[in-house]
Amino acid sequence: MNKTELIEHIAKHADLSKAAAGRALEATIGAVRTTLKKGGTVSLVGFGTFAVGKRAARTGRNPRTGAAIKIKSAKVPKFRPGKGLKDALN
């Protein structure tokens, strides 16, 4: 499912126009992004939790030359599924 299909699904099931569903989805994604940028977490009970993880600096290898390269530390988004989502899949 891509973003357009998700907007269509939201519009159909929430009895909204596609434009309103698109704005709602964009607002939701924006809220998650803003919260994660500030270092917070977003918990949706029954669905899961979005959080920020830290990836340590490490040494990697250039696959073409085999030379060692330094990879900087980074913040990465993480998602931990909730019980309701896990139960729906099994």
Q: Which residues of 5-33 are buried (b: 16+ CB within 10 A; e: fewer)?
A: eebeebbeeeeeeeeebbeeeeeeeeebe
Give pLDDT tens digits along the chain (90 positions).
999 999 999 999 999 999 999 999 999 999 999 999 999 999 999 999 999 999 999 999 999 999 999 999 999 999 999 999 999 998
Pick the CATH number of 40-90 from 3.40.50.720, 3.30.200.20, 1.10.3080.10, 4.10.520.10: 4.10.520.10
Sign of the CA dihedral with 52 first, then 27, 49, and 38 last: positive
Q: What residue segments make up the domains of the chain, in order of their start? A: 1-38, 40-90
- Distances, alpha carbon 66 to alpha carbons 22, 60, 72, in Å: 46, 9, 18
What pTM was computed for the model? 0.79
- Within 14-87, strands assigned E span 42-44, 48-55, 58-61, 68-71, 74-81
